[in-house]
Amino acid sequence: MGLLRKMKNAKEGRVRDNVVPTAEARRVEELFKALGRMSWESFVQHRLPEDLKGSLGGVEGPGGGV
């Protein structure tokens, strides 16, 4: 999940340096493309458990909010 978090932050421009391992990120993208069901971005947005989304930043986990 750490790699997906780094990829998401990089895509959103929230990284100072290129901290995403390019070869690993390519493998993740290729895996999701081979599966053909959804992109890694869609997986992060819609399929990660709520408690993990909170660690991605900008998304509240369980018990957060008002």
Nearest to 49 by CA among 31, 62, 65: 62
Q: According to the 3-state scheme, what is the secondary structure of 8-58?
A: HHHHCCCCCCCCCCHHHHHHHHHHHHHHCCCCHHHHHHHHCCHHHHHHHCC
In angstroms, the CA 6 to CA 16 distance is 11
Q: What is the pLDDT of residue 62?
A: 44
pLDDT tens, residue by residue, 2-47: 888 888 888 888 876 666 678 888 999 999 999 998 899 988 888 8
Residue-range domain boundaries for the chain:
2-56
Q: What is the pLDDT of residue 60?
A: 42
| The pLDDT of residue 64 is above 70 | no
* Whether the predicted model's global pTM rises above the 0.75 cut: no
Q: What is the pLDDT of residue 21?
A: 72
Q: Name the residue with tokens 């990829």.
A: 7
